[in-house]
């Protein structure tokens, strides 16, 4: 009898939640109206709209947090993310596309200063050159995230911007497909980013990053330019670190002219002779696996690409893929056999480092630049081997109160 009552109650709860969602969506009308959305567009786009409570990164009352998904950029070790087979496949296809879209890419570089191979690499990484179909109903994603997501205010704005795209005729309600986070199109833009950086490069009167390759690639180039892309500057240089080096320097705040890094023993892996202009460039040290695996000197353009996706592995993938399209070689130093601790363990490390005053960034369970540098500082303090990598040995030392 009790089981039957439970079965009867659950649908009522779901219906109540959905009714509240419908009321929430209706409450967005004044903001939409103020943004220039017509009542007809709003009603047509939102009619029958339902929440998707299976999305990740939601905060649902009375239910466990769904949590952010295990994004490959943040939980995989570099060897798993920057796979040679994937790079080689995408580089080969990218070379063919560079011929097919030669005139468009040349015009984009002339206008925005961003090389065609960089833009093609972003396209390849984001949607496999359009061969990966985005799985979600975009408006449903944005509305759900605005209703019960972790960044409600942001997604309210994204929802309104998406309505603008539909009203402008840039994309139909049906074709607005996105990732779980609401990014859309061949080169993956949030609606607000498309509003800021979108380009009608094919001249048809619409910014169409869903089916127009010129618009999608030019919009990506415009975004990089607007965020500070410097023409003629490489994204990074692979270097060989000296035998005795300080991995805690691997943070964006520590910058030196490349010539100074070279004097300290960080030299191009294949003996490349850099020009005087290149040596004068300011660069930061990047060691994605701490003292293991490849090392890089990263320029300002590295961090511009990182504005597209805030992940070192993402930038390494895009930059390396772009180089390989130009007949570049694989990384000279192989990735190590390091393993990645669970996000919960890395977050526990971050909490410990914060208590010690060694870490001041957010607790996110991701072994990024700041976390690796803080780990190195802790290892120095605790008398451990300094490799700037989150290992079980470091976790045990922290658990023991060291």
In the chain, residues under CATH classification 1.10.8.350 are 20-65+133-226
Euclidean distance between CA atoms 187 and 371, whole angstroms: 29
pLDDT of the residue at 341: 87
H or E element at residue 257: strand 255-257
The pLDDT value recorded for residue 402 is 78
The fourth-level CATH superfamily of domain 20-65+133-226 is: Bacterial muramidase (1.10.8.350)
Tell me, what's the pLDDT at 1?
37
**Can you state the angle between helices 343-355 and 369-382, rounded to 10 degrees?**
60
Give the pLDDT score at 70.
46
Provide the pLDDT for residue 154. 97
pLDDT value, residue 66: 57
DSSP 60-103: -TTS--------HHHHS-HHHHS-HHHHHHHHHHHHHHHHHTHH
Predicted local distance difference test score (pLDDT) of residue 77: 82
- The CA distance from 160 to 10, in Å, is 32
**What is the mean pLDDT of each successive set of 10 residues along the chain, which is 402 residues long?**
39 63 97 98 97 90 58 67 95 98 98 98 98 97 96 97 97 97 97 98 97 98 98 97 94 96 97 96 96 96 95 95 95 86 92 96 90 96 94 93 80
């Amino acid at each position: 009898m009790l089981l039957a009552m439970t079965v009867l109650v659950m649908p009522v709860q779901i219906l109540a939640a959905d009714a509240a969602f419908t009321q929430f969506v209706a409450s967005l009308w004044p903001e939409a109206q103020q943004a220039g959305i017509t009542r007809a567009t709003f009603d047509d786009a939102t009619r029958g709209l339902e929440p998707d409570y299976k999305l990740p990164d939601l905060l649902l009352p009375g239910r466990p947090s769904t949590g952010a998904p295990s994004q490959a950029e943040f939980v995989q070790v570099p060897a798993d993310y920057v796979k040679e087979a994937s790079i080689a496949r995408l580089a080969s296809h990218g070379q063919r596309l560079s011929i097919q879209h030669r005139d468009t890419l040349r015009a984009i570089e002339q206008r925005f200063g961003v090389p065609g191979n960089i833009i093609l690499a972003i396209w390849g990484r984001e949607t496999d050159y359009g061969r990966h179909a985005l799985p979600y109903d975009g408006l449903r994603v944005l509305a759900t995230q605005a209703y019960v997501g972790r960044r409600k205010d942001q997604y309210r704005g994204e929802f309104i911007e998406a309505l603008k795209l539909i009203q402008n005729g840039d994309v139909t309600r049906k074709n607005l497909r996105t990732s779980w986070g609401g990014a859309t199109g061949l080169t993956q833009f949030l609606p607000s980013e498309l509003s800021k950086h979108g380009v009608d490069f094919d001249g048809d009167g619409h910014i169409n990053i869903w089916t127009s390759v010129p618009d999608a690639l030019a919009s990506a180039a415009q975004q990089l330019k607007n965020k500070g892309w410097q023409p003629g500057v490489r994204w990074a240089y692979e270097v060989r670190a000296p035998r005795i080096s300080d991995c805690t320097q691997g943070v964006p705040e520590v910058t030196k002219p490349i010539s100074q890094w070279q004097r300290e023993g960080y030299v191009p892996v294949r003996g490349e002779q850099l020009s005087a202009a290149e040596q004068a460039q300011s660069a930061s040290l990047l060691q994605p696996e701490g003292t293991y695996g490849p090392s890089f000197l990263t320029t300002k353009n590295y961090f511009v690409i990182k504005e597209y996706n805030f992940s070192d592995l993402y930038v390494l993938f895009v930059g390396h893929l772009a180089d390989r399209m130009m007949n570049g070689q694989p990384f000279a130093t192989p990735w190590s056999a390091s393993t990645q601790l669970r996000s919960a363990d890395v977050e526990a490390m971050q909490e410990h480092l914060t208590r010690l005053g060694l870490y001041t960034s957010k607790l996110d369970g991701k072994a990024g630049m700041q976390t690796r540098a803080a780990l190195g500082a802790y290892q120095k303090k605790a008398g451990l081997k300094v490799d700037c990598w989150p290992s079980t040995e470091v976790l045990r030392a922290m658990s023991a109160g060291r």
